[in-house]
Structure 1
């Protein structure tokens, strides 16, 4: 398949959503509880102040629930497919010929891994993730998706910590990662997680990493970090800040601090 052309994943795959189903269930449950309390206070107990308080809280929570539901629909791979667009943006910036081994750090349900596998039919790929329950992702889910996409013969998955990768130095010819590093709780300095990713990349290997790089509270001055990598001997390093604003990649209503804001892409050749 031609690199640059958007890869469409199978609708039979189960790739989850950046707005987890469990989160939506809790929010809808909260709406119901507040609605019941408001009715009880107003119609049964006839106490105005508590009814007003729960009523206002209901309006606020319901508005936020509907907003998150809209975001979930937009992210869905079979609907708005913004998750697919963001993954494709990363793959399009990976300067690799597809020969050798690729590591997807924090693969989740394997969506980015599958996109890379379909883009690079000669590559051998490894997806790694910690698979916490809060994201409703699992290794078995990834393996089923690989079978659906007919790439299971050259794709494998394993559990691991992005802050301490279980691979030897310079194992991979390419590395990718999408919105994972800022979530790694075992590393206080998120730049250390990026450095750990580079440790397992071969000299001359390609990389494309997306995260909240434009948020200085997490990563500091990324231009300075780029210069640090160049001084360390990297052949080529590029940085694009605020990718959510690039080419209409992410709708304006999703460009919020609690959704996608201050995202960035760093890519090049080690």
Structure 2
């Protein structure tokens, strides 16, 4: 599926990680140059290979954060019918939230976040509101400051709950489990849950199964959602809350 032109500003996921890759590539290129200058061919070739490898990882990371994840989520959200109530956990600048809102002509999308820039560059509520306005969906979007471990919503409040690379930012395993349990609590019976992450997805699946969710599966999101390579691939936990 082609992703429509985006009008908002969505920053970079974990910008320190991308900066680290680029810095590493520069250092390795400098070492390769020095080695070749000193006529140390094996070391120069090794450093050059390392630099090219690191640059390839940086290119993969940059592609995912600027385009790839949008393409994957556009396909995932293609199943929306247009009248759902959707919640985005850790919505950040609105990459997934606003993609969803564009499809909810008769529905509504809510995003909850603690607005920390270490997780995404320039991550704050005014930026997300500006992005919603730029995408023309402000009237369908609600932004809430809140903790994923204690969501400020009632039971069964949403038809769809999504999250993209947010739950892993909770440091403690017990906290991540609470976040998944909260996501399950606010999802209506029969509702859809989609959690994309590159860490802890087996634990998310296990928690949902403990909660009695039978219709749950964990799958690879594909190369468009690699943060540097297949060793940092993203998986999607997809689940349907049992109908009451």
- 1:107 offset after TM fit, Å? 1.0
Residues 73-222 of structure 1 aligned to structure 2 (within 5 Å)? 73=63, 75-77=65-67, 82-93=68-79, 98-99=83-84, 101-134=85-118, 135-136=120-121, 137-188=123-174, 190-201=176-187, 203-204=188-189, 206-212=191-197, 218-219=203-204, 221=206
State whether structure 2 residue 239 is matched by structure 1 residue 257. no
Q: Deviations over 1:112-144 (max 9, x none)?
A: 111221111122322112333232133222111
Give the counterpart of 2:24 among 9, 23, 30.
30
TM-score (ref. length: structure 2): 0.76
Number of equivalenced pairs: 241
Relative to structure 1, the CA distance from residue 215 to residue 24 in structure 2 (aligned partners, 3 Å threshold; closer, same or farther) is: closer
Deviation string, structure 1 residues 177-227 (Cα, Å, up to 9, x no partner): 2332233225436333211112223x44623222359967534647xx447
Alignment of 1:62-77 (within 5 A): 62-73=52-63, 75-77=65-67
Which residue of structure 2 aligns with residue 242 of structure 1?
219
Distance 1:213 1:33 in 2: 27
Paired position in structure 1 for 2:50: 60
Aligned in 2, Cα 1:122/1:228: closer, same or farther, shift over 3 Å? same
Q: Give the secondary structure class of the aligned counterpart of 2:232.
A: coil
Deviation of the 1:162 alpha carbon? 1.2
Gaps of 5+ in 1: 1-5, 231-236
Gapped runs of 5+ residues in structure 2? none
1:6-45 matches, within 5 Å, as 8-18=3-13, 20-37=14-31, 39-40=33-34, 43=37
Alpha-carbon distance in structure 1 between the residues aligned to 2:227 and 2:151:
36
